[in-house]
């Protein structure tokens, strides 16, 4: 069988370029030629040994921009060779309680590409046609941004962000940018919070009205000034740090809503009386549900600063080193793209 190259996360702190088998095309599958794959925060945490769901060894990657090269016999005619696509990377069991409730994004046995099954950081993959999303207008690089943005869009949906609300997003990585963009799209007045001024500049371009560098000003005082002493109606936490987990609860308005996307790497201590006194809602947000078309439409509008959020583009041969360097200095990086081919 023919072999292709892939980036494998062997164990925490170790990646290798390995030869793997060329995928076998099933009757309902589509063979994709990969052009771009983005590194996500989950890849970073898996590399650091901090992601509880990560399985080793595994081919990384689930943020995909690719082209159809072949289709199985049972694939609908609308999917044709030459079409550019992105991929929904989640695989749900179909029978757990979450799946039965119509929320497969929270499947109790979810298997995301690159986490609990082989990913897309290779030259060809085969996927069921039902997992494809197409766009005739987006570039392959833009298509590789769709999946991480859907995670942020889902968080805004979980928080029921509405027109006129003040929404604070803590963390302006790519998922936080998705939550920010979605909140702007929903008509909210958005406050972007980060510790990196360059990311806050991008947040402004994405539509944030206010920015706060929490290393330079007092977060509480800045939020009180912006919200006339009320606090934000919604706070979306996209960092995964005990300090920002607590800050979201402390700073949200009375009767407000907190949405957590990031996985906190250590236990979080709360003053639980704050939950009751404020009568706040605390919501988890996992993966995405039906947001792929919404995000594709948003990107097609041209309002997202694509060039600004892609911090670095590397080849497959340099991808492992780029992941290690990101781990050493994560602050300036919003998105690393791995480019395949010419």
First-to-last C-alpha distance (Å) of the chain: 25
Q: 342: pLDDT confidence band, cut at 50, 70 and 90?
A: low
Question: Looking at residue 231, what is its pLDDT?
Answer: 98
124-128 and 281-284 beta bridge pairing: unpaired
Q: How far apart are CA 136 and CA 190, in angstroms?
A: 31
Question: Looking at residue 264, what is its pLDDT?
Answer: 86
Q: Is pLDDT above 70 for 326?
A: yes
- Classified as helix, coil or strand, 303 is coil
Contact criterion met (CB below 8 Å) for 120 and 112: no
How confident is the model over 219-228, as pLDDT tens digits?
Answer: 999 999 999 9
Q: How far apart are CA 120 and CA 36, in angstroms?
A: 9
Dihedral (CA of 98, 103, 107, 108) sign = negative
Residues 6+ apart with CB under 8 A from 138: 84, 146, 296, 299, 300
Helix axes 219-226, 242-251, angle to 10 degrees: 30
Contact criterion met (CB below 8 Å) for 149 and 181: yes
Q: How far apart are CA 14 and CA 47, in angstroms?
A: 7
DSSP string, 327-342: HH--TT-SEEEEE---
Contact criterion met (CB below 8 Å) for 71 and 127: no
Rounded (5°) CA angle 215-311-146: 105
State pTM to two decimals.
Answer: 0.96
Question: Looking at residue 1, what is its pLDDT?
Answer: 65
**Of the candidates 170, 160, 335, 337, which has an alpha carbon nearest to the alpha carbon of residue 261?**
170
How confident is the model over 32-78, as pLDDT tens digits?
Answer: 999 999 999 999 999 999 998 999 999 999 999 999 999 999 999 99
Q: How far apart are CA 210 and CA 237, in angstroms?
A: 16
How confident is the model over 260-298, as pLDDT tens digits?
Answer: 998 888 899 999 999 999 999 999 999 999 999 999 999
Q: How far apart are CA 114 and CA 112, in angstroms?
A: 6
């Amino acid at each position: 069988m023919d072999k292709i190259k892939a980036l494998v996360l062997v164990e925490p702190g170790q990646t290798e370029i390995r030869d793997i088998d060329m995928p076998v095309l099933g009757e309902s599958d589509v063979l994709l030629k990969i052009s771009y794959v983005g590194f996500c925060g989950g890849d970073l945490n898996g590399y650091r040994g901090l992601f509880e769901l990560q399985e080793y060894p595994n081919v990384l990657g689930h943020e995909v921009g690719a082209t159809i090269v072949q289709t199985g016999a049972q694939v609908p005619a609308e999917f044709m060779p030459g079409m550019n696509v992105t991929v929904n990377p989640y695989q749900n069991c179909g029978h757990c309680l979450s799946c039965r409730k119509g929320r497969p994004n929270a499947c109790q046995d979810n298997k995301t590409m690159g986490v609990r099954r082989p990913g897309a950081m290779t030259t060809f993959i085969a996927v069921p046609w039902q997992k494809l999303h197409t766009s005739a207008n987006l570039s392959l690089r833009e298509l590789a941004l769709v999946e991480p943005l859907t995670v942020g869009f889902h968080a805004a949906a979980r928080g029921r962000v509405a027109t006129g609300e003040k929404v604070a997003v803590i963390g302006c990585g790519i998922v936080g940018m998705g939550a920010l963009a979605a909140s702007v799209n929903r008509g909210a007045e958005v406050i972007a919070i980060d510790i990196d001024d360059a990311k806050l500049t991008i947040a402004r371009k994405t539509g944030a009205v206010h920015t706060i560098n929490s290393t330079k000003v007092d977060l509480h005082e800045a939020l009180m000034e912006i919200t006339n002493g009320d606090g934000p109606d919604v706070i979306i936490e996209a960092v995964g740090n005990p300090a920002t987990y607590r800050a979201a609860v402390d700073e949200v308005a009375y009767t407000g809503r907190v949405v957590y996307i990031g996985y906190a790497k250590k236990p979080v201590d709360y003053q639980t009386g704050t939950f009751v006194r404020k009568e706040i809602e605390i919501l988890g947000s996992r993966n995405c549900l039906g947001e792929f078309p919404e995000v594709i439409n948003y990107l097609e509008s041209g309002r997202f600063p694509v060039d600004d959020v892609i911090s670095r583009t590397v080849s497959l041969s340099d991808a492992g080193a780029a992941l290690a360097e990101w781990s050493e200095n994560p602050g300036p990086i919003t998105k690393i793209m791995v480019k395949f081919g010419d």
